[in-house]
Each structure stands twice: as structure tokens, then as C-alpha cells.
Structure 1
Amino acid sequence: MKSTGLVFEDIRKKLLEKDILLSDLAEGLNVTRAHVYSIAKRNNKSKPVADAICSALKMTTEEVFGDTYQDHQARGRQDRAARKQQVINAIRNNQPIPESSFT
């Protein structure tokens, strides 16, 4: 059975009951408010943001986000120097940007 967790309005309401705003979490995480909102609305994924929301609510990831992060593996930081140069070269040479090898 799939667990759906809380909807955005429930997350916001429960945080407000604790006098916590999503913007407070954004500032604490040094990310934009829009980013935190998009995670709370499940438009994007971010384990650190999801963890902060869950911590603030004193609930588990499953209780808040259902199975959204069950098999989630963070992309992680990677050396993008080669890809960045590939994009820059294509733009400067007025060529199509090649597909990324990242999957």
C-alpha cells in the first residue's frame, strides 16, 4: 500500500501550530523560500529540505512525504567542469548543446 503522507496545506498548518514558517527553514538551510515550498508541495525532491521539514514537525519522512523518498538517491555534488565546458563551447560555437551523459 502506498503511503501518501501530508498534503502541502497540512504541512504548512502543522508548522504554523509550532510557530515555524517554511521561510524560516529556507533561511536556516540557506536556500530560497521557493525551493522549500517546491519540496513541501512535492514539485521537486531534496532530502535535506525534506529532513528539515520532518524534523520541525517531529515526524518521520514517511509520515510527512509518504513513499516519496523511499528509494531516493541524491544526485550528489559532482565535478561538472567537463560538462560546463561542453555547454560553453557549444554556445560559443553556435552549435546545439549535446545531451548530458548524466542519467
Structure 2
Amino acid sequence: MPVRRLLATVLVAAATVPLAATPAAAHGAPTDPVSRAAACGPEGRYAATSACKAAIKAGAAVREWDNVRVAAINGRDRERIPDGELCSGGLSAYRGLDLPRTDWP
């Protein structure tokens, strides 16, 4: 089979394979990749960064970093959590995590 034809066959096959989503295996604030809440928590390795310090100053309850959760979302996060407030889950106790900064870990 000529290389060009083989390449075309492989590309078509790859394009038709459905991508599978990996199910979540946890709840609360993710640590891999690190969420802002986990990064800035008391044991977070980024707690001393400027972004985390600004979040705490603006009102992020990072002592309870793994408590950022909204009950019964059931896939309706776009409906229930206001735009720009995803990191805080729309919860006022974590509003500092929503700061628009370019230096978040």
C-alpha cells in the first residue's frame, strides 16, 4: 500500500474513533491538575504565591479548600454557577478564587 494511501486510511480511522471522557474519581477541589482552591490551601505548594495571597485577601476561605462544592449540580453547572465564578462555585466564601489574574499556578 503506498504511503500516502496508508496515511489517509489511518487519518480517516483516527477521525472516526469516538473520544471517551474519563470519569471523575473524586469530589471537592481537584489536585491534579491542581485547582486554585487546592493550590492556595494550607498545605498547597503554591500558597505563598502572589495569586494565592490576593485570593485570600479578597476573601477565599482556603482553610476549607476542599469544601468548594455546590450540591445537586447534576451536570447543570452552566445554569447554576454564574459566568466568571467557576473557581468559587459561586460561593461567596471563596470569591477570591475567581480573581482574573494571569499568574495562577
TM-score scaled by structure 1?
Answer: 0.28
TM-score scaled by structure 2?
Answer: 0.28
